[in-house]
Structure 1
Amino acid sequence: MPSSLSLDPAKAVLLVVDMQNDFVLPDAPMEVAAARQRVPAMAALVARAREAGVPVIYTQHVLYDGFDVSPLETTQLPHLKTAGMRAGTPGVEIIAELAPLPGEVVIPKHRYDAFYNTRLETVIRNIRGRNVADSVIITGTVTSVCCESTARSAFMRDLRVFFVDDATGGFDDASHRATLATIDRVFGKVVSTRQVLDALGGA
């Protein structure tokens, strides 16, 4: 892990990936216990970003009852054919501890990569003014699935990736660490919550 962080707050956005009730709450359809454990770190980052004027952008994984919008996902995870992240239900909403403020952007998505067939890139390119933002700070869940897919996709779009190791939650420690190693070697910088808080300024 680098000892210093070359993150310019004036060119960054904070991305909170899929911190929804159906991923975070106990006994939820896609419960990720590690995501729940890391909520305090994510909340600290969200609060500091707001104080520093860094836009906070949320992603929200959405499935439907009326038709299977993500058929390969539900083939891999058959229990999602009947429950989980359903549009219009409390399970699809961002958890209360990280709830978006009025005016903050929430990006619905149907694939692990939050850039795929969404407006995320357009929002990032313009939310701070035309082509100002060049860096994404990634937090959320699942580390090795939606967080990693989105980080790789950001890199392919020439966005600098800062992947927060203790503010992302994985299914297990092995997959979490494997993602961190891959991101840090190839796709961006793996950083700590403390490093990002310091880079964004304040106490």
Structure 2
Amino acid sequence: MTPWEIDPARSAVLVIDMQRDFVEEGRPMEVPAARGAIPGIRAVCDAARSAGAPVIYTQHVLLDEFDVSPLETAYNPKLRQLGMREGTDGVEIVDELAPMPGDVVIAKHRYDAFHNTRLDSVLRSIRGLNGIDTVIITGTLTEVCCESTARSAFMRDYKVALVSDATGALLEGAQKATEAVVATFFGRVLTSAQVINELAAARVG
């Protein structure tokens, strides 16, 4: 039994960290599977915009002035010198998914897109007070920033939909593992086609 269905009037799409440094070949934090997620992300975003649901992008940003995410760089030392630097083209959203007028872009410094960002405030006000109660998560890395954000959304009482073919993992087996965890404990795992169908059905209804 489906616990809930997507209502475009109360939903927002999150596009997590689809930046050049993650997506493009040869970049410092390349995630090959992220490139495969682009068609699904684009389809979901287009359907959401058509249904009047907001699309919100995040950008993972590191700084040269100081180590803004010291444990992240401790576990991945190459990030102390390169990758996702403020003011570089590496933080830019890839051209294939470029934000449209009316979309929101939010910078973050931790895996969780809610942590010390304006995301929660945007979600709770962009469609009137507490108008959004569902987040549709796309982007990369599935097992890191997408899963961290999904868990955090759940803790804030948002309904969570993780889009299986619109997210890209790095580690072997991580995509299926995250999907299993989310589906069991934190929300629904849907394909892009299922998301689009629910958005369309709600509009017709």
Whether TM-score is above 0.5 comes out as yes
2:94 and 2:4 map into 1 onto residues whose CA distance is 29
2:139 and 2:149 map into 1 onto residues whose CA distance is 11
Paired residue for 2:105? 106
Paired residue for 1:37? 36
Paired residue for 1:196? 195
Q: CA deviation at 1:44?
A: 0.7
Q: How many residues align?
A: 201
8 A contact 1:61–1:92 mirrored in 2: yes
Q: Which amino acid aligns with 1:106?
A: V
Q: CA deviation at 1:6?
A: 1.0
List 4+ stretches of structure 1 deviating above 6 A: 2-5
Q: CA deviation at 1:102?
A: 2.7
Q: Deviations over 1:62-110 (max 9, x none)?
A: 0011111001000111111111000001100111111112332111000
- Flag structure 1 segments of 5+ consecutive residues without an equivalent: none
Q: Which amino acid aligns with 1:57?
A: I
Paired residue for 1:159? 158
Residues 109-148 of structure 1: pairs in structure 2 closer than 5 A = 109-148=108-147
1:140 and 1:22 map into 2 onto residues whose CA distance is 13
- Flag structure 2 segments of 5+ consecutive residues without an equivalent: none
Q: Deviations over 1:38-67 (max 9, x none)?
A: 101111111111111110000110001111
Q: Does 1:10 align with 2:5?
A: no
Normalising by structure 2, we get a TM-score of 0.95
Q: Which amino acid aligns with 2:44?
A: L
8 A contact 1:107–1:118 mirrored in 2: yes
Paired residue for 1:76? 75
Distance 1:44 1:4, change over 3 A: farther
- Give the secondary structure class of the aligned counterpart of 2:124: helix
Distance 1:177 1:190, change over 3 A: same
1:136 and 1:155 map into 2 onto residues whose CA distance is 9
